[in-house]
Amino acid sequence: MNAEEILERIENAKAKAGRTDRIYFAAVSKTRTVEEMKEAESIQWVDFFGENRVQEAEAKRKAFGESRIPWRLIGHLQANKARKAAELFDHIDSLDSPDLAQRLNRIAGELGKVIPVLIEVNTSGEASKSGVDPENFLPLLDAVRGLGNLRLDGLMTVGPITEDEREIRRSFAQLRGLAENARERTGLSLPVLSMGMSGDFELAILEGSTLIRIGTLLFGPRNYA
Ligand SMILES: *Cc1c(COP(=O)(O)O)cnc(C)c1O
């Protein structure tokens, strides 16, 4: 694991951005074994695991046992997996429709818990990406804020697939702008801006990310066998 190098790059990006606040770190553990995840758990500045599939996470969470680190769902959530996801994950970061929000809220109520969530926004315009379109963000925000068993912590996005740094920064800046609008509209503090992966986390830090999601840089290339 490249822990030292990652930490140094985060510190450099923070210095460049003139930031001294804390940036949280999610180890994106999709496709990784429980053994690899245990190793990541032992790195003290790793704050979360990020998994993108409910089924994979279910098997691993059982095998993992007690975890120092909360688990976040960062992949698209289908309605029929909402209950399982609500049982399994400590955070759900991929809220992308009023229907899903209502369903999760009802299930959370039945489970007697409040689920911390992020709204995922598609800021890249890429059809393959999940997340609510920016023009549908406010209606979704208004739907979520009325739901007592969901706690809205902030926003998440996945940057565009391009080498063009301006384009990537535009995407992250858009998420930051939406969060600012949402704070004004709701009075919520919405502290979490989850953006930045192995290929673009430094740009995300420059644009105000408070939670980066790193897989490849930490664990090495993924092998989808
Ligand atoms: C896989 C994934 C990541 C991590 O990607 P890397 O490029 O391996 O760092 C981050 N966020 C989401 C939503 C992902 O699906």
What is the C-alpha separation between 42 and 7, in angstroms, rounded?
Answer: 15
What is the C-alpha separation between 125 and 171, in angstroms, rounded?
Answer: 9
The pLDDT value recorded for residue 163 is 94
* CATH class of the domain defined by 3-219: alpha beta
Q: Atom 11 of ligand 1 has which residue's CA nearest to it?
A: 213
Ligand 1, pocket-test mutation among 36, 52, 192, most atoms within 8 A of CB: 52
Work out the angle at residue 8's Cα, subtended by the Cα atoms of residues 211 and 29, and round it to the nearest 5 degrees.
45
Domain boundaries, the chain: 3-219
pLDDT digits 0-9 by tens, 25-58: 999 999 999 999 999 999 999 999 999 999 999 9
Which residues 6+ apart lie within 8 Å of 105 measured at CB?
147, 148, 149, 150
**Residue 216 CB less than 6 A away from ligand 1:** yes
pLDDT per residue of the chain (225 residues) written in tens, 0 to 9? 689 999 999 999 999 999 999 999 999 999 999 999 999 999 999 999 999 999 999 999 999 999 999 999 999 999 999 999 999 999 999 999 999 999 999 999 999 999 999 999 999 999 988 999 999 999 999 999 999 999 999 999 999 999 999 999 999 999 999 999 999 999 999 999 999 999 999 999 999 999 999 999 999 998 875
pLDDT digits 0-9 by tens, 114-137: 999 999 999 999 998 899 999 999
- In residues, how long is the chain? 225
Token couple for 91? 């955070």
